C-alpha cells in the first residue's frame, strides 16, 4: 500500500495583507504623504522563509523589502501620539494606535462657546457585508480617511481645530453610514470624505510653506540690515586705520 503514496505538491503560499501605514516624512525610498500597504508571504510572519512586500495604496506593483525594513515600519504602532508626531510613519486602523481620531465640535450655551471632543472610529462591521467586502472597505477607510487625518495632525494640528465643525460633521455622518454598509454604497462616501480631508491637508501644507516663506523674508531683511551695519562699522575702523583720528 505504501508503494502507491503520492507526495503532496508544495503549494506556493499567497501574499497576505498585514497593515497600512502613511509616510509622514521622507524615509529612504518611502515618500511623504503616500499611503503604503505591507504584506508577507510564508508560513508565519516570524518564519525564516517569510518574504516581505509593500506597495503604494491603489497600485498593483509589489516590491519585496528586507525584514529589517518591514519591522522598522511596523514598530511605529507602539508609539504614543506625541512620539508618533516625531516619527516617519503612522500605522492605521485595526489593533494599531491610529484607529480613532478626536475632533472637537463647537457648542454654545447661553452665548458662551466651547468645544466638546468626539472620538471617531470609522470602520465597517464584518457582519454587515461579509469578510471580503469588509476587508476591502476597511483598507480603503484607512488609506482615504485615517491617512489624511494623520497627515493633517502631523503637519499642522491647528487645522483640525480651525475647521473642527466641518471635519466633525463629515466624520460623524460617515461613521453613521458605516453602520449601514449593507444598504449604502460606501465607496462614493469614502471618496467624498477623502476629497474634503485632502483639501485641508493641502491647506496645511500651504500654510506651512507660507510661514516658512514669511520667516525667510524676515530673516533676509534682518540679514540685509545686519550686513549694512557691519559694513558701516568696518568702513569706520578702516578710515581710522588709514590715518584718521579719534576725537
Identify the pLDDT of residue 1.
41
Grid coordinates of 162? 480651525
Domain stop point among 73, 99, 125: 99
Domain stop point among 81, 99, 117: 99
What are phi and psi for residue 129, nearest 5 degrees?
-125, -5
Do 124 and 210 lie in one domain? The reply is: yes
Is pLDDT larger for residue 112 or for residue 77?
112
Do 150 and 66 lie in one domain? The reply is: no
Identify the pLDDT of residue 218.
60
| Buried residues in 82-116 as b, exposed as e (16+ CB within 10 A) | eebeeebbbbbbeebbbbebebbeeeeeeeeeeee
| Mean pLDDT value across residues 88-111 | 80
**Minimal CA–CA distance to 164: which of 209, 113, 124?**
113
Do 92 and 108 lie in one domain? The reply is: no
Which residue range is the domain that position 84 belongs to? 1-99
| Mean pLDDT value across residues 79-102 | 70
Do 222 and 237 lie in one domain? The reply is: yes
Do 131 and 85 lie in one domain? The reply is: no
Do 121 and 94 lie in one domain? The reply is: no
- 187-232 pLDDT, tens digit per residue, is 999 999 999 999 999 988 887 655 555 556 666 666 677 567 677 7
Q: List Cα–Cα distances, 172 to 118, 120, 235, 246, in angstroms.
A: 9, 7, 67, 77
- 103-162 pLDDT, tens digit per residue, is 988 887 877 877 888 889 999 999 999 999 999 999 999 999 999 999 998 888 888 988
Position 165 pLDDT exceeds 60: yes
- 3-16 pLDDT, tens digit per residue, is 555 555 555 568 88
Contact criterion met (CB below 8 Å) for 79 and 87? yes
| Mean pLDDT value across residues 30-59 | 83
Domain stop point among 75, 99, 123: 99
Do 95 and 74 lie in one domain? The reply is: yes
> What is the share, in percent, of the chain residues with pLDDT greater than 70?
74
Average pLDDT of the chain is 80
Position 46 pLDDT exceeds 60: no
Do 156 and 128 lie in one domain? The reply is: yes
Do 107 and 191 lie in one domain? The reply is: yes
Identify the pLDDT of residue 196.
95
Do 87 and 111 lie in one domain? The reply is: no
Do 174 and 76 lie in one domain? The reply is: no
What's the structural domain count of the chain?
A: 2
Q: Which range among 29-38, 162-171, 235-244 shows the weakest confidence by mean pLDDT?
A: 235-244
pTM score, whole prediction: 0.75
Full 3-state SS string of 102-122: EEEEEEEECCEEEEEEEEECC
Position 2 pLDDT exceeds 50: no
Identify the pLDDT of residue 192.
95
**Minimal CA–CA distance to 151: which of 19, 21, 22?**
22
Do 94 and 118 lie in one domain? The reply is: no
Amino acid at each position: 500500500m505504501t508503494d502507491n503514496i503520492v507526495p503532496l505538491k508544495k503549494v506556493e503560499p499567497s501574499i497576505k495583507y498585514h497593515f497600512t501605514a502613511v509616510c509622514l516624512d521622507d524615509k529612504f525610498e518611502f515618500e511623504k504623504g503616500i499611503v503604503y500597504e505591507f504584506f508577507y508571504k510564508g508560513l508565519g510572519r516570524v518564519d525564516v522563509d517569510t518574504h516581505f512586500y509593500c506597495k503604494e495604496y491603489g497600485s498593483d506593483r509589489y516590491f519585496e523589502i528586507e525584514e529589517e525594513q518591514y519591522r522598522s515600519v511596523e514598530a511605529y504602532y507602539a508609539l504614543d501620539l506625541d512620539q508618533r508626531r516625531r516619527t516617519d510613519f503612522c500605522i492605521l486602523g485595526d489593533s494599531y494606535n491610529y484607529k480613532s481620531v478626536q475632533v472637537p465640535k463647537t457648542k454654545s450655551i447661553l452665548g458662551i462657546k466651547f468645544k466638546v471632543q468626539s472620538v471617531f472610529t470609522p470602520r465597517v462591521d464584518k457582519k454587515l457585508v461579509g469578510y471580503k467586502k469588509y476587508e476591502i472597505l476597511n483598507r480603503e477607510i484607512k488609506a482615504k480617511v485615517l491617512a489624511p487625518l494623520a497627515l493633517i495632525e502631523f503637519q499642522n494640528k491647528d487645522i483640525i481645530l480651525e475647521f473642527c465643525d466641518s471635519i466633525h460633521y463629515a466624520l460623524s455622518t460617515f461613521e453613521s453610514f458605516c453602520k449601514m454598509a449593507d444598504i449604502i454604497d460606501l465607496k462614493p462616501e469614502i471618496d467624498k470624505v477623502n476629497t474634503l480631508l485632502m483639501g485641508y491637508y493641502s491647506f496645511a501644507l500651504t500654510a506651512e510653506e507660507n510661514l516658512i516663506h514669511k520667516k525667510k523674508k524676515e530673516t533676509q531683511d534682518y540679514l540685509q540690515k545686519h550686513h549694512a551695519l557691519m559694513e558701516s562699522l568696518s568702513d569706520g575702523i578702516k578710515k581710522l586705520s588709514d590715518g584718521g583720528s579719534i576725537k
